[in-house]
Amino acid sequence: MRHPNWYTVFLLLFASSVQAQESLTIQYSCNFAAAPDSATALYTYAASAEARQVVERIMRANVLPQNFVLRAADCQNALATTIGKQRLILYSTSFLEHFKTASQTQWAAYCVLAHEIGHHLSNHDLEQSNPAERKRYELEADRFAGGTLFRLGATLEQAQAGINTFSSETTSTTHPPKRARLEAIAVGWKQAEELHAAADNTAGSAAEDSNEKKLYQQARSEKDPYKAIELLDQAIELREDYAEAYLERGKRKVDIEQVDEIRVNFRDAIEDYNTYLQLRPKSAEALVERGYAYRRLDLDSLALADYNRAIRLDNKNPDAYLGRAWVKMKTEDSEAALRDLDKALQLKPDFAQAWYWRGNIQYGFGEYDKAIGDLSKALEADPKYADALDLRAGAYQFSNKLAEAIADYRRLEVLDPAAFSGYFDRGKCYQALGKHREAIADFEQALQKNNTFSEAYLYRGVSKYALGRKTEGEQDFEQALANTVLTVNTSVKIGCLLVENGLPKDGLVWLDRVLAKSPENKQALECREKAKGK
């Protein structure tokens, strides 16, 4: 707390501009790890959007209104304090950034901020000097944090992350030892878990003959997500606690990405999922849906928590295992992702997406035959699965099964001619098979989409050479060189491709030009040896 003669000045400044930088002298406070020994001068700033979002999530997990103001400051991690009658939470931006980038989980940061919020929502007197009372306050705030983090999806270990990271092993005049604080977190977490287990999972239902139910059913049959959302808005206006309408509206807000990626708002969808989960806390389906929205916002730790909770609630939910596999792939834990995909496929053998992502991982490993097998399973389940078809074509191409690759590219083109972008890759397959007219036709299609595509000019030039149209081929080579800064690499590639396509003499002309200037060019030397062998 600041000295009494600062109260009026601060409140006037605060009311006039909460965005301004300010200097505060903190006399009384609760720092997460320990109370300051004396008055501390801090500079404060407007809170970041990210910090506000963390606090908003914590507040949504509770029923009490926010009674404090959030500010960034040059404090150690976070602290709760009061200035007159104004309650504040100050946090360090560096502290939040550390847990965003250096840790796989943000739960330590959530634990710290939930603890400080607990002080304010419990109306603790931070000027209290009695050590026993101060320690009781700290344990109450820890218990509050434990319950809050359970509701946010943290495991007990994750909920205790803040204590394990920052708390002292020993007691102080204001703070209990770590073992007591860990127990307080555990008590709060367990109480919230027990309440959750006993919660009624049917709250917020609508009568079958009600107007809101009719609007909901109409929305579910509506293909246009915008129109569906309008109908669900009306249903929720008629019944504010209509649980299913919130879940469906959240889904339809996500569906917007299929028709308009710019206008999709995953945070809005998350708000609807949050409301639904307050009414139906045992819904694995809603947790999986919210996990997807978190993942699309790159909030991977929150997505993982939702998928883990969904699996705890329903360990036979294949979508939960697929979602968790996605997060693990993003963190480059491919082996764990494969285990989750295998579990999803045990539960749902015709799960096209799970087969696709399993094939995707195998493709990344360079295991093209295994990838082809998995992607073929995906296409058996969904013959129009364009991503699976495209990736299988690539796997065939890399394993030199060029006719099969061409067949997949053709199927992909038939599925959606306007969206097809595989002309260049298919052209390379045709060229490798000696079908130069077909190759040229595909390279020309690629160049219609991008007339500065250096590689397309290069490959088209090689096929023109192979057909005896050397003047045209030279013109393409000139365009290829004009559209790249890596002229030496391009010249080597022209020479090597001419050699590979049965034109060793023409290839040697290009390779010798390069070697005259760069006699140690390894690739040019290797291609020249091949040319001499032919």
Per-residue model confidence as pLDDT tens digits over 117-164: 988 888 888 787 788 888 898 899 899 999 998 888 788 888 888 788
β strands within 86-201, DSSP E: 86-91
Averaged pLDDT score across all residues of the chain: 87
Is 176 strand, coil or helix? coil
Element (H, E) at 297: none
Phi, psi of 521 (to 5 degrees): -65, 110
- All structural domains of the chain with their residue ranges: 4-197, 199-282, 485-534
What is the pTM for the complete model shown? 0.67
Q: So what's the pLDDT on residue 199?
A: 58
Q: So what's the pLDDT on residue 13?
A: 34
Q: Cα(256)–Cα(47) distance, rounded to whole angstroms?
A: 31
For residue 401, what are its two tokens? 């099964």
In order of 224, 320, 389, 462, 515, the CA distances from 265 in angstroms are 16, 22, 29, 47, 56
Sheet of 78-83: strand order equals: 22-26, 40-46, 69-73, 86-91, 78-83, 29-31
Query: CA-based angle 146:149:155, to the nearest 5?
Result: 90
Residue 264 C-beta-side C-alpha neighbours within 13 Å: 18
Q: What percent of the chain has pLDDT over 70?
A: 90
For residue 285, what are its two tokens? 């389906």
Element (H, E) at 24: strand 22-26
Mean pLDDT of all residues in 68-89: 85
Q: So what's the pLDDT on residue 18?
A: 42
Q: So what's the pLDDT on residue 77?
A: 80
Mean pLDDT of all residues in 502-516: 91
- DSSP-derived letter for residue 258 is G
Q: So what's the pLDDT on residue 202?
A: 59
In terms of average pLDDT, the best of 101-110, 186-195, 234-243, 403-412 is 403-412
For residue 92, what are its two tokens? 């360090």
Burial class, 406, CB count within 10 angstroms (exposed 0-12 / middle 13-18 / buried 19+): buried
Cα-based torsion angle of the residue sequence 478, 479, 483, 489 in order, rounded to the nearest 10 degrees: -40
Other C-beta atoms closer than 10 Å to the C-beta of 510 total 22
Query: CA-based angle 426:428:431, to the nearest 5?
Result: 115
Q: Cα(318)–Cα(320) distance, rounded to whole angstroms?
A: 5
Q: What's the distance, CA 159 to chain centroid?
A: 21
Rg of the chain over Cα atoms, rounded to whole angstroms, equals 31
For residue 54, what are its two tokens? 């963390």
Is 85 strand, coil or helix? coil
Assign a CATH topology to domain 199-282: 1.25.40
Query: CA-based angle 303:366:334, to the nearest 5?
Result: 25
Q: So what's the pLDDT on residue 285?
A: 95
Helix axis angle for 487-500 and 470-482, nearest 10°, is 150
Residue 36: which pLDDT band, with cuts at 50, 70 and 90?
low
pLDDT digits (tens, 9 = 90+) for 468-506: 999 999 999 999 999 888 888 999 999 999 999 999 999
Q: Are 488 and 521 in contact (CB under 8 A)?
A: yes
Report the first-to-last Cα separation within the chain, whole angstroms. 86
For residue 143, what are its two tokens? 């218990």
Mean pLDDT of all residues in 267-281: 90
